[in-house]
Structure 1
Amino acid sequence: MGVTGTGGYPGSSGPPGRSAKRPTWVVGGITIVSFVAVLWIIELVDALSGHRLDSNGIRPLETDGLVGVLFAPLLHSNWQHLIANTVPALVLGFLMTLAGLSRFIFATVIIWILGGLGTWLIGNVGAPTYHGVVVETNHIGASGLIFGWLTFLIVFGFFTRKVWEIVVGVVVLFVYGSILLGVLPGTFGVSWQGHLCGALAGVLAAYLLSGPERKARERRRASTPNPYLTP
């Protein structure tokens, strides 16, 4: 993807005469808290409007349901739905920003769009039927995005081979790994399809955005002489 940056905690001061640059963790914290605040504001507007906004979710295989790819992660069925997504979004989203704000943005876009398109394609799988007609489903909620962030964090370090990012991935897997069961078919009304597509998009995003490290590793490998071939 051509994205540079190695993550970490840059917080060094700039040249003399310039204001100190905000540490990465501060910028990341402000970014993700602002995003979650937007979710709460949207849910407030939705509740006051009688949940009319919820109709803008992903309706699988319907042309006008494609608009939900853009809006579904911002919408929630009720306050309980939003509350359930708030803490994982804050924690995982913040950890995502530590890989670099540009990577966070690119990864989020990949997960948002590809995860949404995947949900649009398979969102009716497993849906009940009525007289042979599939009951219309409407997928909303930030959980697909959260699953994408989760899988990104778990595998990103194994692509970059950086110790800190591997440690983050292992810790995230230990703390949140059990929720990955949400990608399996379960209770109707829970979008396992959105979870699955978001998770797969997260793995793809991690692979694409680890490109600079993978290429650098290949260059180092190519420039290192093979001791078994040295005369």
Structure 2
Amino acid sequence: MTSADFRTNPENYCYRHPDRQSFVLCQRCLRTICPECQTQMPVGVICPECLRDQQQQQQAGRVTRMPRRRGPARARATDTRPLVTYAIVIVTSLTYLFTLIPGIGDTVTAYLAFNSAFLFPGIGFQPWRLLTVTLVHASLWHLVLNMLALWALGRSLEPLLGRGRFLALYLLSALGGSVLVSLLAPGTWVVGASGAVWGLLGAMFVIGRHLGVNVTAIAILLGLNLVITFLPGSGISWQAHIGGGLVGALVGFIFARTRAIRAQRRQMWLLIGVAAGLLALLVVPVVVYG
């Protein structure tokens, strides 16, 4: 699919605001809706028409599961806040504060940081480290730079993709960074959310290309970060950065190519396939270095 094809496909635009592109579908009618038209429900987001239908059914006594108060529902309909982004920033920042507490800080870091040695059953199988590596950082500046990048990228990507897809992108990118570290730098201690953040950059680059957006600035940012990553003595895990960026780009490609309503199930299975493939690659260091 070219960027021109993407821009001319009405399924990629909000049905109520044809000038607004979105990746989010109403969970009932499966029409594309922009952040302004979304109402957050326990099972996902729905469009204003479906919300009105449910409210009318509730008034008629046929549906009893709808919220009784309409005020919060209307408020959520225009809620465009990137709540997943905010939650990740808050949890990561709180974890860093815990690592500063004398007596327990080092224990917290040692328990959450990633080292491929803990994927070997004989040493101590601790698979959570593949993802919890994003919660611990080497310094305050390390934390601040990653969280600023996450905040800047999340404000654009999360409303576009939807909260579920954005969280899947972040976690799969983090997993991709840990997997490449396991393959190319076994036994190395790694901390930080850089791999996941690079995944967001990679996804934004790919999605931006499909949307027909000028991605020159993103390409320059990726290039500069790549140069800094490979500087001698930088102490940066380039494996985590590259792994996260590649997986993020792949997930972004999946989102862009499975945008049509009929492709939603295929999108889910492709994401599951990416996760399964990454986990399968972890067998390689266990066999080679074990």
Asked if the contact 1:46–1:53 (Cα under 8 Å) also holds between the matched residues in 2, the reply is: yes
Does 1:138 find its partner at 2:200? Answer: no
- 1:6 corresponds to which of 23, 37, 42: 23
Instruction: Determine what percentage of the aligned residue pairs are the same residue.
Output: 20
Assess, with a 3 A threshold, how the Cα gap between structure 1 residues 143 and 67 changes in structure 2: closer, same or farther. same
1:68 alignment counterpart: 129
Unaligned stretches of 5+ residues in structure 2: 1-11, 13-21, 25-32, 38-47, 56-69, 264-290
Asked if the contact 1:184–1:196 (Cα under 8 Å) also holds between the matched residues in 2, the reply is: no
**TM-fit CA distance, 1:171:** 4.4
**TM-fit CA distance, 1:170:** 4.2
1:41 alignment counterpart: 94
Assess, with a 3 A threshold, how the Cα gap between structure 1 residues 183 and 66 changes in structure 2: closer, same or farther. farther
Write the letter of the residue equivalent to 2:192: G
Does 1:98 find its partner at 2:159? Answer: yes
Aligned length: 196
**TM-fit CA distance, 1:143:** 0.8
1:131 alignment counterpart: none
Q: How does 1:53-132 map to 2 (within 5 A)?
A: 53-55=108-110, 56-62=112-118, 63=120, 64=124, 66-99=127-160, 100-124=162-186
Q: Cα deviations across residues 20-55 of structure 1 (Å, max 9, x unaligned)? A: 1343632x1x32122101111111111112322222
Bigger mean CA offset, 36-45 vs 17-26 = 17-26
TM, length-normalised to structure 2 = 0.58
Q: Cα deviations across residues 83-140 of structure 1 (Å, max 9, x unaligned)? A: 221211111122220222222122123212232222222224xxxxxxxxxxx52101
Asked if the contact 1:147–1:180 (Cα under 8 Å) also holds between the matched residues in 2, the reply is: no
Write the letter of the residue equivalent to 2:201: L
Once residues 105 and 182 of structure 1 are traced to their aligned partners in structure 2, the CA distance between those partners, rounded to angstroms, is 27
**TM-fit CA distance, 1:150:** 0.6
Once residues 194 and 41 of structure 1 are traced to their aligned partners in structure 2, the CA distance between those partners, rounded to angstroms, is 23
Write the letter of the residue equivalent to 1:149: L
Asked if the contact 1:152–1:203 (Cα under 8 Å) also holds between the matched residues in 2, the reply is: yes
1:155 alignment counterpart: 206
Greater RCO, 1 or 2 (C-alpha within 8 Å, sep 6+): 1
Once residues 159 and 245 of structure 2 are traced to their aligned partners in structure 1, the CA distance between those partners, rounded to angstroms, is 19
RMSD: 3.0
**TM-fit CA distance, 1:71:** 1.1
TM, length-normalised to structure 1 = 0.72
Assess, with a 3 A threshold, how the Cα gap between structure 1 residues 175 and 203 changes in structure 2: closer, same or farther. closer
Once residues 120 and 84 of structure 1 are traced to their aligned partners in structure 2, the CA distance between those partners, rounded to angstroms, is 24
Asked if the contact 2:171–2:196 (Cα under 8 Å) also holds between the matched residues in 1, the reply is: no
**TM-fit CA distance, 1:183:** 5.0
Once residues 123 and 214 of structure 1 are traced to their aligned partners in structure 2, the CA distance between those partners, rounded to angstroms, is 39
Once residues 228 and 201 of structure 2 are traced to their aligned partners in structure 1, the CA distance between those partners, rounded to angstroms, is 12
- 1:210 corresponds to which of 236, 248, 256: 256
